[in-house]
Structure 1
């Protein structure tokens, strides 16, 4: 192991030398591969693990220089945590921050010449498995890879460009203060400040905006090709479709089938054969066939954007035929988990592709539209109130008393078990029927009308 001041074990000006030296970290820990004795508390300083990798393994002095970490080779070093999922798989724990957005300068850039693209041209990405009770010195390095934004598939780059332009357009319009992570799919403008009171000037408005940084979303980092998700299949692109954004591509696939009934679509895709029972998830299967994806494969673009497809059957009255439900909750877990750490919070932050079927005069449901939906930020506060109220009732021993739709504009709680005997224990020891959170049908009616008009 080289000491500070001695010849480096790699050539700082050679990209391949740097990469091959970095590969020695894969499957190992910083304790095993360096003389580091401790890493500062990662909860107080999120950059402490990355700083330790730079200093103890690559022998780079920590600094605040905006130049690449390996100046001679033009390579930026990024460390990013992974987490173990409930199913045993791995996913990115956080977005990958690329660099700060200068509102005053970004309006003078094009995507191709932007500071963001320049920063993301050559990234050495080192991903480690974060475990809450583990000493950071013992975090195991799972992945070492070179990432070049310009080297991504054409469809990915087209979507990232569209995301970049969506954010920059808001700055051009004097609306930097209205930027939200929900505006985009792969690339986001995430808040980045020491505290929530910090603000920065923007060029076309006197209203100051939150400081933000360019970042690749955690879902995109998880689903990058050949990374953490197996059995992914991309939506096929024909001639002239390579530069389409994701929603443009999806709409182009669905457009030829608008107006057809569920039964007609089922027959078209081989699910309506005589004597064969109609699958319960027929509409979900139809969606996959329209997109040209196998029944058992994960849709690559949806994984990258964190999108979940959801069938919405809309009655002639405009009301959804069904409310939208989520998996049942565990009463112990609900009592112990605040909203911000809950699965329900992640469902509310999720993007959904609503595949809309509308009832016609004969009572048939016909495919009519597709649109992306994410709960507006103001409504998330209402969802949190529903969650915390149900949590309070469970803690106080009233788990049997669900939050009704009349008590909350967006959400409610009701049974989600097979029958009244399908129960779970509560912290007080009694057994209560399984329950889950639902989005109110009336609330969904308004949201479907809003996004389908917009799209």
Structure 2
């Protein structure tokens, strides 16, 4: 190993640092255990104050090598890079990635001279020892339970999309617009900001405008998909011969295209789905994509995309409006739009599976595409949010925001009945309400996407 190990003077390593198989076998002893149980690791600093303390402890106390900034793989003789990544448990009990996995810094000056196949990024992630642990805020990091330890390489089916993401970012650098790079540009791979504070800037090769330093990272959504696959909670869409270079949407559209113009009855009969089941449309989506009924779709997990069936009336207006979870009036009063759950929900990526009524509620499979609220519409959504927030602050939570008052969004009740209420900070409890996307807004967005995708 190029890193200094403690083996020569202090301990005898329990694995062979020149063998990837030996390293992984040793790493897998951690599964279901904690660092405190497996090695002499002291209590660690709060990860909020010292990022990376858990990963450093795994390296130092479990694998027995000193930490340094060497750019070579952690286990250089085995060609294996060690990465630790946290998971967290959601309120519904599902495990998801807590954060993105940072891989390596982007050198704006050098990256335009690379091809994806010969890139520093691919070299950095060629072969990983991936250790995932469950983050629990009330525990010291040495007491986090290890979920799995696996040897991991980028799946062949993910390479086309990661290449597209890499090329999207590099194109901005080559066009002299590194300052405009955004996480929303890409699906799996992102160029995340990486500096001591937000004021730091660095030079770029084709512009005098300084840009934020950034690092290549796998998005948290991508890591959720990876981890769910390793835990056998999701399935990938199988690729056929000739589909190796297709991006996610290209692959999904290819699966759906043979069924365009079929109606819901024909599809449920073909895929042996109970047409009266509440989940009938979702089951048809899974079966078109060749994924089990109870599995999540790995490609959508990795893209952070939620599949959503949209049924259109003959005039193109959605039959059902899109709503968000019930408003917590106390949280609404205290939280500006920029930090709100509502903004986070608007930034959600959806896979819209669109059916259109051709008459007499004969819904025909029409199209499939990805959608999220465009950045230019966020100020209008913010206006709706802040208007409702002002209502709550003034003790007037019973007042809503009408669809006629905002181009994108509105607020209205979403409750079982008038007795289904929530408390507010400055008055009597009021009926549960939520934010909704305007049907006219969604109609126009869907029409635009369906035209664009052709």
Scaled to the shorter chain, the TM-score interval is: 0.7 to 0.9
1:17 counterpart SS class? helix
Change (3 A) 1:454 1:176: farther
Where do 1:208-287 residues align within 5 Å? Answer: 208-224=210-226, 227=229, 230-270=232-272, 278-287=276-285
Cα offset for 1:163? 2.0
Selected match of 2:296 from 287, 295, 298: 298
Q: How does 1:269-348 map to 2 (within 5 A)?
A: 269-270=271-272, 278-315=276-313, 317-332=315-330, 334=332, 343-348=341-346
Distance across 1 between alignment mates of 2:30 and 2:91: 26
CA contact (8 A) 2:229 2:235 kept: no
Gaps of 5+ in 1: none
CA distance in 2, matches of 1:305, 1:277: 29
Of 24-33 and 385-394, the range deviating more from structure 2? 385-394
Task: Give TM-score scaled by structure 1 length.
Answer: 0.87
- Alignment correspondent of 2:102: 97
Distance 1:123 1:237 in 2: 24
Question: 2-side partners of 1:33 and 1:294: how far apart?
Answer: 37
Deviations 1:336-366 (A, max 9, x none): 6665665434322221112233455787544
The answer on 1:165 being equivalent to 2:130 is no
Which residue matches 2:128? 123
What is the deviation of 1:299?
1.9
Distance 1:270 1:387, change over 3 A: same
Question: What SS does the aligned partner of 1:196 have?
Answer: coil
Change (3 A) 1:124 1:268: closer
With over 3 angstroms needed to count, the CA separation of the structure-2 counterparts of 1:448 and 1:208, relative to structure 1, is farther
Gaps of 5+ in 2: 1-5
Select 1:45's aligned residue among 40, 45, 50.
50
Secondary structure of 2:445's aligned partner = helix
Match of 2:370 among 353, 369, 372: 372
| CA deviation profile, 1:212-247 (whole Å, cap 9, x unmatched) | 221112222222276466553333333322332211
Change beyond 3 A, Cα 1:13–1:264:
closer
Aligned to 1:9: 14
Q: Secondary structure at the match of 1:24?
A: helix
2:3 corresponding residue in structure 1 = none
CA RMSD of aligned residues (A): 3.0
Q: Secondary structure at the match of 1:44?
A: coil
- Length-normalised TM-score, structure 2: 0.87
Q: Which secondary structure state, in structure 2, belongs to the residue aligned with residue 112 of structure 1?
A: helix
Deviation of residue 32 (structure 1)? 2.9
Q: Once structures 1 and 2 are overlaid, which stretch shifts more, 156-165 or 119-128?
A: 156-165
Going from structure 1 to structure 2, the CA distance change for 1:436 and 1:306 (only over 3 Å counts) comes to same
User: 1:60·1:69 contact (CA, 8 Å) conserved in 2?
Assistant: no
Asked if the contact 1:90/1:228 (under 8 Å) is kept, the reply is no
* Cα deviation, residue 43, structure 1: 0.9
Confirm or deny: 8 A CA contact 2:228 2:234 kept in the other structure.
no
Render the CA deviation track for 1:71-95: whole Å, top value 9, x for unaligned. 3322222121110111223211011
Give the drift of 1:117.
Answer: 0.6
Question: For residues 229 and 304 of structure 2, what CA distance do their matches in structure 1 show?
Answer: 15
Structure-to-structure mapping, 1:54-69, within 5 angstroms? 54-69=59-74
| Equivalent-residue separation in structure 2 for 1:44 and 1:321 (angstroms) | 49
SS at match of 1:155: helix
1:202 matched residue in structure 2: 204
Mapped contact 1:412–1:440 kept (Cα < 8 A):
yes
Cα deviation, 1:3-47, whole Å, max 9, x if unaligned, reads 973433333222233223322332232333333333233112212
> How far apart are residue 384 of structure 1 and its match?
4.6
